[in-house]
Amino acid sequence: MLTRKTNRINKPIKIETAFLCFGIGTILLYFATRFAIPFLISTFEMRNIIAWFLSAGVLLFIPLFVASIIAYRAEGGEFSLKPFLQRMRLNKMSSTDWKWAAGGVLFNFVAIGLVQFLYNFIGEQTGLFGQMNPSPPFLQYAPLQSGEYWILLAWLPMFFFNIFGEELFWHGYLLQGQELASGNNAWIINASFWLMFHIPFGLTMLLMLFPLIFSITYIIQKRQNTWHGIIIHGTINGSGFLAISLGVIH
């Protein structure tokens, strides 16, 4: 599976170390969703989506972005952009890479839609549960109205740190070390821990995210390029937010 030479990494990252990193992230996400968001809403009468931007951004996504830089420097990495990009496997995209990225996006649109369809169909047939909501409770909000489109501008920095923070640390940094420790099985371990990280989103979101999480991690390891995660993750995440914000889906 490892089709390209790995760029500049010093030592393997064992399962327990990776679990600890993802575990800390899970705790921070739980704290943000269960405590920080309710506090901001009740104290400042803040819209839940803005409370999400602030709490998750400050407590989790910006720290993940910074952690990737700190981890790189701790390995002795040069304080320079080019070697940092090489270490994070932000390699130039070939035509084959773009095909993999496009295929990953298409696969996930279909797979996520299929998961929702099957969930809703089974729920209707059995009566055991209702319709799948595409957003967890703390992210549910009405489409933007006139005068609220400034929220899209507020979302942009959150979106950047969400995608780049997760992809650089979980995959640019951790996955490479896991490959040295676990070989071709590293993507399965990394994806399992990444799924665990999303537990605060709830069971239905875990079901919806399952194909996205495992396909992204597989493709990154297969192609040895973190850009695949950034492109696929960003496209799915961004299109979902914009679709809800603009009233395309409810």
Tokens 């992210």 belong to residue: 139
- Could you report how far apart the first and last alpha carbons of the chain are, in Å? 40
Q: Which of 163, 159, 155, 176 is nearest to 64 (CA)?
A: 163
Half-sphere exposure of 53 (CA within 13 A, CB side): 16
Model confidence at 229: pLDDT above 70: yes
Model confidence over 86-134: pLDDT tens digits? 999 999 999 999 999 999 999 999 999 999 999 999 999 999 988 888 7
Give the DSSP letter of residue 79. S
Phi-psi category of residue 72: left, alpha or beta, with phi > 0 → left and psi -120 to 50 → alpha: alpha
Largest distance between two CA atoms of the chain: 59
Query: pTM for the full model?
Result: 0.94
Integer Cα distance of 214 and 203 in angstroms: 16
CB atoms within 10 A of CB 76: 8
| Mean pLDDT value across the chain | 93
Contact 161, 61 (CB under 8 A): yes
Model confidence over 161-208: pLDDT tens digits? 999 999 999 999 999 999 999 999 999 999 999 999 999 999 999 999
Q: Which of 125, 102, 101 is nearest to 219 (CA)?
A: 101
Contact 151, 49 (CB under 8 A): yes
Integer Cα distance of 31 and 36 in angstroms: 6
